[in-house]
Amino acid sequence: MYCQWGKLETWLDANRPAVLADLNPGADTAAIDDLQGRLGLQLPEDFIACLRGHDGQKGQAAPLFDAYAFLPARRILMSWSSWNELLDGGDFDGREGRTDGPVKPLWWSPGWVPFASNGGGDYLCIDMDPPPQGQRGQIIRVFHDVADRIVIASGFGPWFDRFGA
């Protein structure tokens, strides 16, 4: 499991240098351990390798992943915590997700870890709590105001490697 920053950085340097300059330095072991501890989850190794390369974006340039900005560890935790506060407060009571692919039909699950945001409340998440027919670590799209919960990749590495090609 790996994260091919070199390939993406080369592409960004040639095509989107402002986005390359917007990437944070890598997260250290303490930051990654703190994130996993607060989430109560062991994140996939390929995602951890990605955070070691760059801890998200500063947020001063265009989004890295199409319309989605790459979140640093502190914003991953902040976004995850916000969704869980809404869940615990009953905001999603009676709401179900409409699935496309093997994902639980929920509005929100504490097992979904947001790692990229479009800035409008929608996220790409690592699904650490899939149904039996799903794959732990699959990538899903979660909308804040639409019930669609869509599986877009079998894992972080295969999803990430599509960028910079």
pLDDT tens, per residue, the chain with 165 residues:
456 799 999 999 999 999 999 999 999 999 999 999 999 999 999 999 999 999 999 999 999 999 999 999 999 999 999 999 999 999 999 999 999 999 999 999 999 999 999 999 999 999 999 999 999 999 999 999 999 999 999 999 999 988 876
Domains and CATH numbers, the chain: 5-160 (3.40.1580.10)
pTM of the model: 0.95
Rounded to the nearest integer, the mean pLDDT of the chain is 95
Three-state secondary structure call for residue 98: strand
- DSSP one-letter string for 122-137: -EEEEESS--TTS-TT
Angular region, 101: left φ>0, alpha ψ -120 to 50, beta rest = left
- Show the tokens assigned to 23: 């990437």
**What Rg value do the Cα atoms of the chain yield, rounded?**
15
CA dist., res. 71 & res. 80, Å (int): 11
- 108-124 pLDDT, tens per residue? 999 999 999 999 999 99
CA pair distance 101, 23, nearest whole angstrom:
31
